[in-house]
Structure 1
Amino acid sequence: MSSRRGDTRSKTSLKNPKKRIPLGPYRAKTKSKKKIKHDDNNKNNETNNNVLPATASQQLSFFLDQYQSANGIQLSSLELEAIKDTCVVELSEGLAQNATSLGEHMKAAFGLSWKEVLCEKQLLEGNIDPGNPALLIVSLSALRSLELLRGLRPLTGECHAAKLFSKHMKIEDQVSYLKNRVNIASGTPSRIKKLIDMEALGLSRLAVIVLDMQTDVKGYSLFTLPQVRDEFWDLYKSYFHERLVQGDLRICLYGALPVSSEVKKKKTMTTE
């Protein structure tokens, strides 16, 4: 009997180590994979930050392709001719396209009058209405909207900037804030449209819209995240397209644009 019990104990002791041994290495491998994935995301972000800016023509072509594809329409040649390259903000080649550099890019976009347009605090009766920003930034999330506003701190320290998203923000508070002079606003498509619909957010001074091309950790962007994409195009068609066509508004695609096979082909041909 004692020998049998001894055998049982020895078998159990042999089995247990086999169960325990893989746990350590398995967890280590999982952790290392996560770390590698995180490092890859950082590298992608760095690449996006240091990308050379697309020309006005490239930005416009990409934007119109997205517009037609997302809405299932085909613009006629006459409609396409009406939308000029001049409605696109060309970014400086000497600056990265990240949150930190956004302020410098916007200074260049507004030219010599940037301080007067973006930094003055006083309402001017008959000239500057409340709740009418000159610069509007549209991004796919509240977190990204805040990140871009932080990049504008050198400007927003002297002027009124509005946060236009729903996360932790009551719409009543935003309506109240928009009763002041607002020069810069940053938010998500759904809340921006709702505030325009309520006539709390005005468009009379709007000169530039920055469309953030940054992708999230899953690789989605403003133009590809399903619900946000639909909300953006609804906002654009309702309030921005006509102004763009008329030349009263400029857009800025901020960040790396996906390179189409057509563009790649052209680049290959030029290098050959």
Structure 2
Amino acid sequence: MASTVNKSVWRGKFQPPSVKKESKKDSKKESKIPKKRKRAGVSKRGGKNRSGGSKSKKPKKPIDKSGDALEENGSGSDSGQPEAVAAPAAAPRAPPTAAAKEKIAKLKSRKRQLSTAQFEEAKSLAENIAQRSSKEQADWLWESYQRSTPASELERDSAGLTSSCVVNLPNGASIGSLEQGLKTLEPNWRQELCSIGHRSPGKLSALIISPAALGCTSVIQACPDLNRECRIAKLFAKHFKVHEQVEVLKSQPAAVGAGTPNRLTKLVEEEALKLEKIRYIVLDVRLDAKKRTILDMPEVTGDWWTLWDKCGLKKRVAEGKAKLVLFGDNM
């Protein structure tokens, strides 16, 4: 019977024992061989892909119903819109010729000369601005005001910085002649400037403004008669607290004050200093160790124009009720 087994049956479940044993051995050999697995992000040579992971497949372009591939914006190539054409590359610029280089060098040299000349002119003007005419002083003040505020030329009259608002001291514009100059401007100065008997506390008739406390002290020393007759109030920060000066101004009448812009603004905000009766605003434009005036010091210029704008000085001068006076160093 075994010899008569049909070979076609061997192909199914019933195979000869010899064939089954060989197949088991072959399957065991195949199972022992480990299958190579590709690690994510690692190429065959052991290096990582540029993307850091497995290679991503390119996204397929969407296909419309007609079978045509759509463009990235969703429209087909046959949408009727013309395709964008790249602009031609700009031609390389030719290097400047020797004549052009010489012309540029001359222009730069001329510009430097003008800048140097303008700087020297501005420096010379600032050094003796107190001895200049009222118009030159007003122009100098107006230029500084425009640099600090967004004021236009139409606002100059309302800013109180015209030539009619500035007065020159008749006996010279130096600190040595300041007291005599103020007396000349106000012949009846004892009555007009120093009559503190009927004056309310905190209301001044003259205000001397200096960029630093040392300047205020030197002004007080240079005006002994005014200090004796009018009692010049010390309105600067050196050795004096704001609350102490507020108490003094509210309790003791003063006719003249000498102070720095920042401290004067604080006293006005505290309502201890009242400037609605001011008649003379005396600005110290002496040079400091760096050859700068009060309008050349960034840390002081802003405070000065804030005092001018927000504390009533500009309004008094623009209305003709007060005058602006400049004084400088001894000549």
User: How do 1:1-272 and structure 2 match up within 5 A?
Assistant: 53-76=131-154, 79=157, 84-92=162-170, 94-95=171-172, 97-110=173-186, 112-122=187-197, 124=198, 128-179=199-250, 180-239=252-311, 240-255=313-328
Gaps of 5+ in 2: 1-126
On the 8 A contact 1:100/1:150 being kept in 2, the answer is no
- Quote how far apart the aligned CAs of 1:133 are: 1.0
- The answer on whether the counterparts of 1:160 and 1:184 sit within 8 Å (CA) in structure 2 is yes
Mapped to 1, the partners of 2:130 and 2:189 lie a distance apart of 24
Please tell me whether the aligned partners of residues 117 and 183 of structure 1 are also in contact (alpha carbons under 8 angstroms): no
Counterparts in 2 of 1:104 and 1:201: CA distance versus 1, 3 Å: same
Equivalent pairs, count: 203
Structure number with higher relative contact order (C-alpha < 8 Å, ≥ 6 residues apart)? 1
SS in 2 for 1:206: coil
What SS does structure 2 have at the residue aligned with 1:158? helix
Give distance in 2, aligned partners of 1:203 and 1:235.
11
Counterparts of 2:283 and 2:317 in 1: how far apart (Å)?
14
Say if 1:164 and 1:186, in contact at 8 Å, map to a contact too.
yes
1:188 Cα shift? 0.4
Structure 1: runs of 5+ lacking an equivalent: 1-47, 257-272
Letter of the aligned partner of 1:103 in structure 2? E
- Letter matched to residue 248 of structure 1: K
When structure 1 is superposed on structure 2, of 191-200 and 243-252 the one drifting more is: 243-252
- Root-mean-square deviation over aligned CA pairs: 2.6
Q: Structure 2 vs 1, CA of residues 56 and 78 (structure 1 numbering), >3 Å: closer, same or farther?
A: closer
CA distance in 2, matches of 1:252, 1:198: 26
What is the rounded CA distance, in whole Å, between the counterparts of 1:174 and 1:58 in structure 2? 36
Flag the structure with higher helix content. 1
1:55-94 CA-partner distances (Å, limit 9, x unpaired): 22222121112111222432217747975533212212x4
The one-letter code sitting in structure 1 at the alignment partner of 2:286 is Q
Q: Residue 43 of structure 2 aligns with which residue? A: none
Q: CA 1:216–1:247 in structure 2 vs 1: closer, same or farther (change >3 Å)?
A: same
Cα offset, 1:208, TM superposition: 0.8
Q: List, as ranges, runs of 4+ consecutive aligned residues in structure 1 with deviation greater than 3 Å.
A: 77-84
Counterpart residue identity of residue 133, structure 1: L
Over the matched positions of the two proteins, sequence identity in percent amounts to 29
